[in-house]
């Protein structure tokens, strides 16, 4: 390393250290704001959150998302660097926007993984992307507000009652097409259970646990078989 480059390295190391300090601070503040907001809203509405129901809901679906968060942290943090990662985890929409956006910016300026350039470009890219989303949503929400009576009209009510089936229909295509056989077995077993025990419909989110375990078990068997086939 030349003497001319040494100060630049020090500047970069100082930048990284302060980025971690700032990143941790704003992450903690954002966490407090996001977890505190339901209680503030509860006070405004005159009804605090039901902690028991929230805990049961967490056991049903939260564990799935916790595993997913750990995987996202391990996979995406090295790609995004420090500043980009703090911002990406605060602003969300990782897979559908932030990751492809940062990768696109990196490719355009040809920044290599693990370099100071990558750290700076990822941060600039994710921060810009987040600001654009915030702006588009703010303008959109302003325009939506006068449309509230239309959105709440009785004609449209059936549509808003079917948000969840619409989501799972769309996701079914996305995930089932990756492995139709793997998808059919849990679907058939779950359908049979719900047909034979109709009361289970009120605890669908709990049924994710056996259904997910079954799908992961089948996936593991298939993975082992493919590995053994590859070794033979």
Interaction between residue 2 and other proteins (CB under 8 A): no
Residue 110, CA atoms < 13 Å, CB-side half-sphere: 0
Interaction between residue 118 and other proteins (CB under 8 A): no
In the list 1, 173, 228, 229, the residue contacting other proteins (rule: CB under 8 A) is: 173
Interaction between residue 79 and other proteins (CB under 8 A): no
Tokens 């985890």: give the residue. Answer: 89
What angle do helix axes 204-231 and 180-196 make, rounded to 10 degrees?
150
Binding mask 202-231 for other proteins (x = CB under 8 A): xxxx-xx--xxxxxx-xxx-xx--x-----
In the list 2, 6, 117, 225, the residue contacting other proteins (rule: CB under 8 A) is: 117
| # binding residues, other proteins (CB under 8 A) | 163
Interaction between residue 91 and other proteins (CB under 8 A): yes
Task: Return the number of the residue (166 or 232) whose C-beta is nearest other proteins.
Answer: 166
Three-class SS of residue 143?
helix
Nearest distance in Å: CB 149, other proteins: 10
Q: Residue 225 and residue 21: Cα distance in Å, rounded?
A: 47
CA distances from 118 to 99, 101, 127, 231 (A): 13, 13, 14, 38
DSSP state of 112: P
Burial class, 209, CB count within 10 angstroms (exposed 0-12 / middle 13-18 / buried 19+): middle
Q: Residue 176 and residue 182: Cα distance in Å, rounded?
A: 8
Query: In the window 122-161, what residues touch other proteins (CB under 8 A)?
Result: 123-138, 140-141, 144-145, 148, 151-152, 155-161
In the list 1, 6, 81, 146, the residue contacting other proteins (rule: CB under 8 A) is: 81
Q: How big is the CA angle at 134 (ends 132 and 61), to the nearest 5 degrees?
A: 120
Nearest distance in Å: CB 199, other proteins: 10
Residue 137, phi then psi, degrees to nearest 5: -65, -40
Interaction between residue 28 and other proteins (CB under 8 A): yes
Nearest distance in Å: CB 40, other proteins: 6
Nearest distance in Å: CB 112, other proteins: 13
């Amino acid at each position: 390393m030349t003497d001319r480059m040494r100060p630049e390295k020090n500047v970069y190391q100082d930048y990284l250290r302060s980025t971690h300090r700032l990143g941790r601070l704003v992450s903690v503040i954002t966490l407090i704001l996001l977890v505190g907001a339901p209680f503030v809203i509860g006070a405004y509405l005159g009804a605090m959150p039901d902690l028991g129901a929230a805990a049961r809901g967490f056991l049903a679906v939260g564990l799935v998302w916790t595993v997913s968060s750990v995987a996202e942290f391990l996979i995406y943090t090295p790609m995004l660097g420090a500043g980009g990662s703090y911002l990406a985890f605060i602003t969300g929409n990782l897979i559908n926007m932030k990751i492809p956006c940062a990768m696109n910016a990196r490719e355009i300026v040809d920044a290599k993984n693990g370099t100071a350039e990558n750290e700076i470009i990822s941060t600039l890219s994710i921060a810009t992307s987040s600001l654009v989303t915030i702006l588009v949503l703010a303008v959109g929400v302003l325009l939506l507000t006068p449309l509230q009576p239309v959105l709440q009209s009785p004609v449209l009510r059936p549509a808003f009652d079917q948000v969840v089936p619409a989501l799972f229909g769309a996701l079914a295509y996305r995930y089932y097409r990756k492995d139709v056989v793997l998808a059919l077995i849990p679907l058939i077993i779950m359908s049979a259970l719900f047909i034979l025990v109709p009361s289970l419909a009120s605890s669908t989110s709990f049924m994710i646990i056996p259904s997910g375990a079954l799908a992961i078990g089948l996936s593991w068997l298939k993975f082992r078989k493919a590995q053994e086939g590859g070794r033979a």
